A and B are shown apart, each in its own frame.
Chain A
């Protein structure tokens, strides 16, 4: 490049004497001079920008590593057999556990999935077969719902189930989490079902299958991996949510299996214990945080791997 630069300079010197005679040569010399000067600057800018972008990526990974490593460090030291099998103890008394919160989270999330999955897959099926105005509105609605703050969903669950039943209950929490899962399940189902090749559907219909039959026996099984991915991601998203449980399931010190009563949940333990000044409660919060992260990561990484594998085998 330096060779080219000196060439330019020789050229411009040589043509400089004719500059007043030929405006085109004059212009060319000027362009070449500017270009040579600018090239260095362009390269420097480019290098600086690339550096900024790489540094951004690195900076984006710092919080992930920091959160995970610290949670693992503090969480592991909180873990013991008793931690998973015992009930919580008051601050200052050691040997407490979170067994009631683990059971509570499993029950609340199970009922949430029970509500969200059939409805979500059904809506996904409808959306995948319809391009009308109604489908457009629903699709848009699902997108908007995905962005509605979880605390607002919590208020909705409170208004629908706590106000009417007149007391806090786990099922109200499940309802709130189901609403949170719905957009994920719906859109993933729609995409998965749309991805089933037309030929497969038409082959089913050509064999004389009724539409409902073909949907159940041909289309849904073919779309199943994608649907399962959506369900897993939806559950992962809901399992980490705290806000919708704050004034529905509300938490409990005891083990409860009755979904009409208040129930403990892992996110609630992290929130309520974490904001206390007692070291042993904070310790319990870290232990619960690590357990929750493991659950959420297994669900969401599992879901992603499944969808990646399917995409590879299809494409």
Chain B
């Protein structure tokens, strides 16, 4: 080939060469690039179709219940499979309570952890300590459930709850028999599970803030906390909010650990010591036992609600976290 080009036996005419190159080019494009591009497009299309299929499959399976239960699914607290009455308000409230407990505990702790990992811990220890915090996220949910049920619940019942009752019983939220399992335990376990999400994302957002901004504040005489509260936190605000929303999304959808420790009672708990049910734990508990026609469909309708909420929450949070990530390098204060 090369020899032929270098020492042509017979010099080809210009049009001949042009047509040869054109032919080769056509062959090339026919054999490779469009095929490759199409293959990738098909793969991407399959993925897109899968995403849509999740929504469509749930809507189709939930439709009988949506027609049968109507708005009662959202507004009624009566979940009564025997009489085909399906109102999931108790579970919606249960989900909100456990998520709120988790956030109250995990947001300050997670934020403090993130600030410590970004500013207060010796540089050498930052990577290993960050890795340890994130390792918490690798512990399977069912192991947290087992630990919560067999280790933390007895401690709650024997020590923490009696103490809370005597010290803060007047608040009205720490009432009822202290038996360990219940919404308070579920919220606490959830807090542990969402802590790595809160801490890791907040840390990433904080670390992304330009060094010059912090050093500028330090040079003006700010104490280390004033640098954090006056410069770091305001700049990282939207990213930290995003981390909180993502963590809330995880807490709302978390299933097995909650199912094991919440007590599984289909009613609104009267206090934080009470037992309850979240949307996810309801599905986990009753799905395989659902034999009535509308029971299964109603459970899937609850799943659909969970899907829609989590999609909104996660979509919103991702937009927040990403927008701070994009704008951070260009942010100018002075």
Chain A residues with CB under 8 Å of chain B are 42-43, 45-46, 48-50, 52-57, 59-61, 63-64, 66-68, 70-71, 119, 122-123, 125-127, 129-130, 134-135, 137-138, 140-153, 155-156, 158-160, 163, 179, 182, 186, 210-213, 215, 236, 239-243, 246-247, 250, 267, 270-271, 274-275, 282, 285-286, 289, 292-293, 296-297, 300-301, 304
Contact = CB atoms under 8 A, between A and B. Distances in A.
Interface residues of B, number: 90
B310 A152 contact: yes
Contact of A240 (B53, B142, B147): B142
Contacts of B120: 50, 53-54
Contacts of B288: 246-247, 250
Interface of B: 28, 31-33, 35-37, 39-41, 43-44, 46-48, 50-51, 53-54, 57-58, 60-61, 108-113, 115-117, 119-121, 129, 131-133, 135-136, 138-147, 149-151, 192, 195-196, 199, 223-226, 228-229, 246, 249-250, 252-256, 260, 280, 283-284, 287-288, 299-300, 303, 306-307, 310-311, 313-315, 317-318
A148 B143 contact: no
Nearest to A123: B47
A159 B61 contact: yes
Contacts of A301: 135, 138
Given A55-B112, A246-B288, A70 B140 contact: no
24 contacts: A54-B116, A57-B121, A60-B195, A134-B48, A144-B51, A144-B310, A147-B310, A147-B313, A147-B317, A148-B54, A148-B253, A149-B253, A149-B307, A152-B310, A155-B303, A182-B47, A210-B32, A212-B32, A236-B138, A239-B140, A271-B145, A289-B146, A301-B135, A304-B131
Given A122-B39, A155-B58, A159-B57, 6 more contacts: A49-B229, A145-B51, A147-B310, A151-B303, A182-B47, A289-B140
Contact of B139 (A67, A163, A246, A275): A67
Top-3 shortest CB links A-B: A149-B253, A56-B112, A240-B140
A45 B253 contact: no
Contacts of B145: 270-271, 274
A275 B260 contact: yes
A67 B189 CA distance: 11
A307 to B, nearest CB: 12
A45 B283 contact: no
Given A286-B146, A296-B140, A243 B255 contact: yes
Contacts, number: 271
Contact of B113 (A56, A67, A236): A56
Contacts of A285: 146
A240 B141 contact: yes
Contacts of B53: 156, 160
A53 B116 contact: yes
Q: Is the interface of B mostly helix, strand, loop or mixed?
A: helix
A270 B143 contact: yes
Contacts of A241: 140-141
Nearest to A239: B140
Contacts of A143: 314-315, 318
A143 B311 CA distance: 9
Contacts of B40: 122, 125-126, 129
Contacts of A247: 287-288
A126 to B, nearest CB: 4
B310 A122 contact: no
Nearest to A160: B57
A146 B256 CA distance: 17
B139 A293 contact: yes
B44 A138 contact: yes
Contacts of B300: 155, 159
A46 B318 contact: no
Scoring B43, B50, B140 by chain A CB atoms within 10 A of each residue's CB, the highest score goes to B140
B58 A152 contact: yes
Scoring A67, A119, A147, A286 by chain B CB atoms within 10 A of each residue's CB, the highest score goes to A147
B48 A141 contact: yes
Contacts of A64: 132-133, 135-136, 139
Contact of B225 (A49, A126, A145, A250): A49
A147 B32 contact: no
Contacts of A293: 139-140, 143
A152 B315 contact: no
A234 B122 CA distance: 31
Contact of B43 (A56, A122, A146, A270): A122
B150 A282 contact: yes
Contacts of B121: 54, 57
Contacts of B254: 149
A119 B117 CA distance: 36
Given A56-B108, A146-B314, A160-B57, A152 B142 contact: no
Contacts of A61: 129, 132-133
Given A67-B143, A242-B141, A42 B226 contact: yes
Contact of B146 (A50, A119, A270): A270
Nearest to A50: B120
B149 A215 contact: no
B29 to A, nearest CB: 9
A135 B195 CA distance: 31
